[in-house]
Amino acid sequence: MHRKVAITGLGVVVPHGMEVAAFFDALMHGESALKVHSPNGAPGPVAIPAGRCEYFDAVAALGRARANGMDRYSQIGTAAALSAWNDAGLDFASGIDHDDIGVFWGTGGGGTSTVERGYQDLFLRARPRISPLSVILGMNNAAASHIGMALGLGGANFTYSVACASSAIALGEAFRRVRSGEAPIALAGGSETPLTYGVIRAWESLQVLAPGDEDTAHAVCRPFHSDRRGLVLSEGAGAMVLEDWQHAVARGADIHAELAGFGTSCDHTHLSRPDPTGQVRAMRAAIDDAGLNPADIDYVNAHGTATREEDVAETEALRKVFGKHAPDVAVSATKSMHGHLMGATGIVEAIVTALALRRQSVPPTAFLDTLDPACAGLHHVTRAETGFRIRAALSNSFAFGGSNAVLAFRSA
């Protein structure tokens, strides 16, 4: 028998800051955190639009000893997880068995800073050896391990690396554990720090990054816009505490929303070209898994990367899923303000979706002043809408490799 799953804790480390409520407020006001930055480790002047957590002080957030033993992606991931844990108000002294609680984490690249620094030492500086910590700092599962150690969580500790769907899949797998009764509580999320010179140059070679200068960088990510020119990479992390509903109610927890369904699919057609058919299957699977109908969905936080092909493919998929109901579904792509956090995007946008349900408010797709006709047929939210009735919502994550993950939420 399936159990209801409550969302009782939220935490973020995103370009806008570390306060969840302030982050959502900024999105509602259409405030972009994107600026021109120089990638870490760049040998010369390189400037690209990006979302960087400039304010983040790992030592202040985690302590010097702990922070020094982590790659940056583990640092921001652990900080987000600790924030979510604190938001949930969990206390081991209350009788919760920490060995029943698992960590489910997502990342596309893991410790890219450590890996790139090692290559620079070997091939640019011709050093005979690299840091003996390179393997354990750079491995993809390091963040999940650090989170488990920081909180003393002895349950399952899994890392999912599925490109841009990584943290959405991590959250979905954690949801399944709690819903099945296998665990009363799970901590899920993801972190990514792709703003290194090598990673940026690799993405530039794909010709999918939006160009911009100091005057235009904040508004250069424009999903569904007729003149969209590409995505903007960002670093960041997000975390959620999921809890058996009855357990949460019994301890008087503050419930943000209900995570109600999870759907996945594989396009099985192309490594980088999106396929609406696969996206349709994932959305329908999530809606069915939640025991809902398409007409029950009032809001979709779109994947919306601002690339030419992806936005059109997602629009086609949304029109197919919702049919006559499509013009009534509010759709927004908040990447226009926080950028594309790669493996961490799914969890950050899931947090935005949960808060939209809680506040009954929809953040906009910023800077969408001219809609691409190929993306028409939906209710694109271009200015924040408050007092908007949201009974249920979806959060879409579609990844290179053709992996699609969709999460369905209900209002609490």
So which residues are the catalytic ones?
Answer: 164, 303, 340
Q: Please state the CATH superfamily assignment of the domain spanning residues 5-250 in this structure.
A: Thiolase/Chalcone synthase (3.40.47.10)
Cβ neighbours of residue 282 closer than 8 Å, sequence gap 6 or more: 263, 264, 265, 396, 398, 404, 405, 406
Q: Name the token pair of 289.
A: 């898994």
Equal fold, 5-250 vs 261-410: yes
Q: What pLDDT shows up at residue 363?
A: 98
Q: What pLDDT shows up at residue 133?
A: 80
Q: What pLDDT shows up at residue 38?
A: 87
CA torsion sign, 284 to 290 to 291 to 293?
negative
Q: What pLDDT shows up at residue 93?
A: 55
- 380 and 224 Cβ atoms separated by less than 8 Å: yes
Domain ranges of the chain: 5-250, 261-410
CA 295 to chain centre: 25
CA 282 to chain centre: 17
- The parts of the chain modelled with pLDDT lower than 70 are 1, 92-94
DSSP 146: H
Q: What pLDDT shows up at residue 162?
A: 97
Q: Name the token pair of 255.
A: 């419930």
Which amino acid would we find at residue 19? E
Domain 261-410, classified CATH 3.30.1330.10, yes or no:
no
Give the 3-state secondary structure of residue 172: helix
User: Rounded to the nearest 5 degrees, what angle is found at the Cα of 79, between the Cα atoms of 76 and 80?
Assistant: 85
Residue 348, Cβ neighbours under 10 Å: how many?
32
Please compute, for residue 272, the number of CA atoms within 13 A of its CA located in the half-sphere on the CB side.
6
Whole-angstrom distance, CA of residue 117 vs CA of residue 108 = 18
Residue 22, Cβ neighbours under 10 Å: how many?
12
